[in-house]
Amino acid sequence: MSKRVLGKGIGALLGDAERREESSIREIPLSALKPNPHQPRREFPDAALRELADSIKGKGILQPVLAEADREGSFIIVAGERRVRAARLAGLDRVPVIVRRFTDAEKLEIALVENVQREDLTPIEEAFAYRRLMEMMDLTQEQIAVKVGKDRSTVANALRLLKLPGEIQEAISRGRVSPGHARALLALANPSHLQALFRRIVEAGISVREAEEIAAALNAGKKPGAKASRAMAEAGRKEPEIREIEQKLIERLGTKVEVRGTGKKGRIEISYFSTEDLERLLDLIAGSA
């Protein structure tokens, strides 16, 4: 599948025969729809679901859910689980569904492409999905890149994230550690250095450039530069109350948030990693005002 085909959407993955059947859409009760066990996406932030639910209330579901019938009379969601969850929040009883039959590999591929196109996956979810596709379909990184319309280096860098400890992977998924910070961590061979730098990133909010400088210095057995050293020293100075507020903001906004200052004054830095992510944050903050 070429990048040009990927750009046409999920319909391009289904083939001509399947696209002809898209005119036959069934209204299926939400109670009959089950999650896809091969869905690469594991995080469904409440705020984003509520936003989609509001859109569904006003405009309805614009794109049918893709599903496969099982032997129990239910339907396994292949693409559109987020729409189904939001439809429940919106109070719908039924949703439009296209019912097809798929192999396990096809289910994973379609779910992955749908999420990648909308940039809905966390970096760790995307990495796990790439690895599962490689294992299930016996594909190389280059072949995976062609299927999802990405550069091979993008797929390779994503897979490298899975070499990091579970705690760091979780921090990446929660937005507390950016992909740029993760690359600096991956440059460290010494596990103790890795953990030390991870703590500095999370607790002191050092920049990617500072993290890279520290990683290079640690690998060379040298002391980090003055600026990086100051950032490292700040890690233990943040007040417990400030850390608690910072963590609440991270959980509420679903991205990296840094609170710099004291209980009396300071500033809040909110990170975003795509145009869509910025728009999501703006809508979320405006909706809370």
Residue 287's domain comprises 238-289
Catalytically annotated residue among 18, 68, 72, 81 = 81
47 or 93: which carries more pLDDT confidence?
A: 93
Q: Are residues 38 and 132 in the same domain?
A: yes
Same domain, 134 and 181: no
32: domain CATH number? 3.90.1530.30
- pLDDT confidence bin for 9, thresholds 50/70/90: very low
| Per-residue pLDDT at 159 | 93
Q: What is the pLDDT of residues 107-163, one digit of tens each?
A: 777 777 776 655 567 888 888 888 887 887 788 999 888 877 788 898 999 999 999
- The residue length of the chain stands at 289
Would residue 1 count as lying in a domain? no
pLDDT of residue 7: 38
Annotation says 109 is catalytic: no
Alpha helices per DSSP H over 60-190: 81-89, 104-118, 123-137, 141-148, 152-160, 166-173, 179-186
In a domain, 178, yes or no: yes
Asked if residue 92 is part of any domain, the answer here is yes
Alpha-carbon span 132 to 127, nearest angstrom: 9
Amino acid at residue number 41: R
Whether residues 217 and 276 share a domain: the answer is no
pLDDT, the chain, mean: 78
Model confidence, pTM: 0.55
Cβ atoms 218, 188 nearer than 8 A:
yes
